[in-house]
């Protein structure tokens, strides 16, 4: 695995981990809001072991990537970032091969991928992780409330772990909270803060308006192989909004993960990895021709 950096048209620096053979079909991983690329670490290793070339990057305003100087965190800006990375993949391939990449997006990352394909990016396949066109508002509000809590940071990793456990009490708590350190940054007076720009969250009413605008403009290619991996304990995805998605995209495939919530890749990693890689092997095989 190696670390790479990409620079967007508006000067944001995107930091990525890259694994697998550079000449193999490429899968780009897009994490959820408030997460970092480290949420995909095990899945990235599984992709590389399966023969894929994987690029796993921190979204603008998250993790090791830089924050937008003017607070630009719209879906369209994120989609443009994704296309910056896809162009980098094409430029790095022998002869500038522009074969499409497969996209795997969780929550915010899934919406980013949908925006990109709606804007005209020709993806090879799409895997959406517990995100649909119209997520349940109650679940969205619960995530927002969690992200807006603790604006003054935490005194310790244990205190941050307590906050995560309160948000997701059904998820087994790690024996040590050290893994959380990658999602936190040091701040004034030794406090720890989440590793993302607070400006990524617009006002609630603005957020709803932006999402309605996104839905009104959405255009999906009916030929795009698409899989939704759904956590059956999630409060973001319901039967009704899966049905709505299928009306727009009748070819949509759905994989249900019984023991997982919204954070599927972490809640039930083996089942998630198997579902996603089995789908990619079928619709985006490692021996595919450019």
- pLDDT digit string, tens, across residues 16-53: 999 999 889 999 999 999 999 999 999 999 999 999 99
Q: Does any domain span residue 82?
A: yes
How many Å apart are CA 220 and CA 170, to the nearest integer? 35
Q: Does any domain span residue 11?
A: yes
Residue 185 has pLDDT above 80, yes or no: yes
Q: Does any domain span residue 250?
A: yes
Domain boundaries, position 31? 2-136+224-283
Distance of CA 85 to the CA centre of its chain: 14
How many Å apart are CA 75 and CA 82, to the nearest integer? 11
The pLDDT score that the predictor gives to residue 96 is 41
Lowest mean pLDDT segment, chosen from 83-87, 111-115, 257-261:
257-261
The pLDDT score that the predictor gives to residue 180 is 82
168-187: average pLDDT: 77
Q: Does any domain span residue 274?
A: yes
- What residues are paired with 229 via a beta bridge? 129, 255
Confidence tier at 95 by pLDDT (50, 70, 90): very low
The pLDDT score that the predictor gives to residue 97 is 47
The pLDDT score that the predictor gives to residue 90 is 76
Residue 85 has pLDDT above 80, yes or no: yes
How many Å apart are CA 62 and CA 230, to the nearest integer? 24
Q: Residue 94 sits in a domain of what CATH number?
A: 3.40.50.1820
Confidence tier at 204 by pLDDT (50, 70, 90): low
In this structure, what token pair is assigned to residue 137?
A: 């508002």
Residue 74 has pLDDT above 70, yes or no: yes
Q: What single-letter DSSP state applies at residue 177? A: G
In this structure, what token pair is assigned to residue 263?
A: 């954070």
The pLDDT score that the predictor gives to residue 94 is 42
129-137: average pLDDT: 92
Q: Does any domain span residue 189?
A: no
Q: Does any domain span residue 158?
A: no
CA 24, 18, 90 angle in degrees (round to 5)? 50
Q: Does any domain span residue 188?
A: no
The pLDDT score that the predictor gives to residue 151 is 92
Give residues with Cβ within 8 angstroms of 290, minimum separation 6. 97, 99
Residue 156 has pLDDT above 70, yes or no: yes
71-82: average pLDDT: 94
Q: Does any domain span residue 41?
A: yes
Confidence tier at 283 by pLDDT (50, 70, 90): very high
Cβ atoms of 128 and 226 closer than 8 Å: yes
239-250: average pLDDT: 93
In this structure, what token pair is assigned to residue 149?
A: 């809590």
pTM (two decimals):
0.92
Structural domains in the chain (count): 1
């Amino acid at each position: 695995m190696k670390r790479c950096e990409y620079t967007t048209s508006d000067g944001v620096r995107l930091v990525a981990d890259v694994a697998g053979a550079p000449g193999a079909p490429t899968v780009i991983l897009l994490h959820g809001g408030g997460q970092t690329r480290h949420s995909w670490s095990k899945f990235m290793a599984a992709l590389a072991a399966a023969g894929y070339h994987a690029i796993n990057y921190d979204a603008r305003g998250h993790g090791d990537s830089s924050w937008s100087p003017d607070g630009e965190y719209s879906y369209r800006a994120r989609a443009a970032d994704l296309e910056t990375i896809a162009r980098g993949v094409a430029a790095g391939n022998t002869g500038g091969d522009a074969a499409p990449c497969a996209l795997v997006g969780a929550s915010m990352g899934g919406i980013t991928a949908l925006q990109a394909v709606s804007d005209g990016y020709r993806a090879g396949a799409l895997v959406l992780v517990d995100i649909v066109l119209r997520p349940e508002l109650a679940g969205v509000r619960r995530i927002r409330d969690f992200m807006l809590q603790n604006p003054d940071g935490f005194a310790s990793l244990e205190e941050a772990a307590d906050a995560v456990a309160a948000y997701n009490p059904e998820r087994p708590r790690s024996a040590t909270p050290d893994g959380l350190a990658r999602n936190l940054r040091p701040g004034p007076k030794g406090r720890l803060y989440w590793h993302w720009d607070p400006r990524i969250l617009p006002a609630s009413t603005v957020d709803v308006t932006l999402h309605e605008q996104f839905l009104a403009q959405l255009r999906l290619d009916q030929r795009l192989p698409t899989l939704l991996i759904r956590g059956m304990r999630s409060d973001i995805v319901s039967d009704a909004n899966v049905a709505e998605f299928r009306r727009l995209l009748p070819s949509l495939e759905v994989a249900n993960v019984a023991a997982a919530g919204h954070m599927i890749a972490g809640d039930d990693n083996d089942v998630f990895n198997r579902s996603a890689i089995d789908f990619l092997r079928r619709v985006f095989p490692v021996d595919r021709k450019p």
